[in-house]
Amino acid sequence: MRGSTHLIAGAALGVMAGSLVGGPAELVAGGVVGGLGGIISDVDHPGSMAGRWLRPVAVWLEERSHHRDSLTHTFWFCAAAGFFLGYIAWILTGEPVLIAAGVLACLSHLVLDGMTRSGVRPFRVWLPRLKLRNLRHGDKAFPGTKASWLNWNRFVDKVEYWTGRRFRGRFYTGKSPVEPLIEIASLLVIAAVGYFELSPFIFNGDNLEIYRTLAKLFG
């Protein structure tokens, strides 16, 4: 999916999470956390929004794996990154519900990318492989070591096979009409939540007097 789609969809989820506790500050914080959570997984691509902000990290990740095949497009990364973003927002605002905003927004990235042809492997697990080139067969100092290392590498192959299933859909990134529809729906959610949550504050009687005074001054 496009970066804008991830950004707006993540922000919508964040605003909805912020609405659980209400208040302008919580809605804004939820939207910011959700927007960041929605795009952070694309830090493995230097041309993405997150990749341009964190270019050294993006270049390093791209050199070691292809876009969407890195650790950033896994459930494990999204859950941890979302928790971290939400936790920072919790410290700043005192609202723990923002952790949910971060986690949901990050996970939404996987869901949206899973709808595309390229797909994602969200449950992939990486384990280290042991190098055998420096180990002589039948080494008396380490009897049976080579066989043990070979068994470990076979186990690594099986784990990567079991966890590496790719989930993919039928849409092409940047070419599907689904992307603008998701963006429009997300913007409508943000507008609706903002209206219902902020209207009591905006149209409060005390605030109306302030608005009238300002209108007289600048009208």
Give 206-218 pLDDT, tens digit per residue: 555 555 555 655 6
pLDDT band at residue 141 under the 50/70/90 scheme: very low
What would the 3-class secondary structure string for the chain be? CCHHHHHHHHHHHHHHHHCCCCCHHHHHHHHHHHHHHHHHHHHHCCCCHHHHHCHHHHHHHHHHCCCCCCHHHCHHHHHHHHHHHHHHHHHHHCCCHHHHHHHHHHHHHHHHHCCECCCECCCCCCCCCCCCCCCCCCCCCCCCHHHHHHHHHHHHHHHHHHHCCCECCCECCCCCCHHHHHHHHHHHHHHHHHHHHHHHHHCCHHHHHHHHHHHHHHC
* pTM recorded for the entire structure: 0.80
Domain ranges of the chain: 3-124+168-218, 127-163
State mean pLDDT over 166-187: 88
Indicate the range of 58-62, 64-68, 88-92, 174-178 predicted with least confidence.
64-68
